[in-house]
Amino acid sequence: MHFTGRTWRPPYEAHSVIIQATSGCTYRKCRFCSLYKDECFRMSPMEEFEEDLAEIKTYQPYARRIFWTGANPFAMSYENLKLRALTVRDYLIKCQSMAMFASIRDIRDKEVWQLKKLRAMGINGLSIGTESGDDDVLALAGKGYTAADIFEQCRKLDEAGIEYYFVYMTGLAGKDGGYQNAVNSAKLFGRCNPYFISVDSLTLFPDTELYRMEQEGQFIPAGEKERLQELQIFIRNLQIRTHLFANSGSNSYPVTAYLPKERDAVVSELQSVCDTVSEEEMAEYRRSLKSLG
């Protein structure tokens, strides 16, 4: 298999077969991220892609879901995505869905009719690192799009029937910013249809812009309890039926919940953690994180 640079797939794709479609990120400007800082974006040549498919076919001929790695393979043109999707089906005849990371920017350059065709070819399950639905926080994080852009592009995915997943990042607004971020993000996410929402919590690594800003006093990180309170507010305000996973390594206390059914239970659980675990203990956990992976 051809894997170059950093290979990253979300925890919920653990049962999918993975194949490299691209490597690196087309954007590399998010201020909290250093994942692909030294790696140029590259599309895997079709020859490599086909060799990998042939290899997968030898050990997983009936694979039903395949995850294309790379920070945003959906940045590829409609024609390129189409060619790859059809090629996957040549090799893996039972494959029902091809999932991948996508940015809001990557959806912007595609028409609804193209999205519908890609969906019909099996592309489904886009993990979108929205991080927030609040314009101030999106600007602070350097995401390069607004809440209105998220809404507009996700409407296109809804129309095309493409399933998508959001990410929310607690702590990204900095000290005292969590309330506004949680309320506005819940409001926006509630107007979209994310199949589920995955929650991370900001961890500042030295090779990021946000870390530099913190060192220079331009960004004051939120405390750990403040982040749990932010998560409570986010959950309370999220008025859609969805599944929330706040159980990745960056969460100092992991929780998951079906919403709205388990809303009260999970909010109480988080309150109990705030009441019984010290700020220092949680901060110590964050200091121990060496990478996002």
Residue 212 near ligand SF4 by CB under 6 A: no
Please tell me whether residue 126 adopts helix, strand or coil conformation: strand
The SS3 of residue 170 is: strand
CB of 189 to ligand SF4, least distance (A): 18
Q: Which of 2, 9, 17, 28 binds ligand SF4 (CB under 6 A)?
A: 28
Q: Give the type of residue at 231.
A: L
By C-alpha distance, which of 78, 58, 90, 53 is closest to 68? 53
| Contact between 126 and ligand SF4 per CB under 6 A | no
Nearest distance from C-beta of residue 69 to ligand SF4, angstroms: 12
Q: Which residue, 33 or 56, is less far from ligand SF4 as judged by CB?
A: 33
Query: Which long-range CB contacts under 8 A does 236-239 form with residues at least 24 apart?
Result: 236/186, 236/263, 236/267, 237/182, 237/183, 237/186, 237/187, 237/190, 238/186, 238/189, 238/190, 238/197, 239/186, 239/190
- Could you tell me which stretch among 29-37, 147-155, 197-205, 240-248 binds ligand SF4 (CB under 6 A)? 29-37
Q: Is 36 a residue that touches ligand SF4 (CB under 6 A)? A: yes
Q: Which stretch binds ligand SF4 (CB under 6 A): 21-29, 47-55, 60-68, 253-261?
A: 21-29
Report, in Å, the least distance between residue 96 CB and ligand SF4.
26
Given 16, 44, 69, 103, the residue binding ligand SF4 (CB under 6 A): 103
Q: Which is nearer to ligand SF4, 122 or 221 (CB)?
A: 221
Is residue 250 within 8 A of residue 292, CB to CB? The reply is yes
Instruction: Say if residues 240 and 196 touch (Cβ distance below 8 Å).
Output: no
Contact residues toward ligand SF4 (CB under 6 A) are 25, 27-28, 30, 33, 35-36, 71, 103, 129
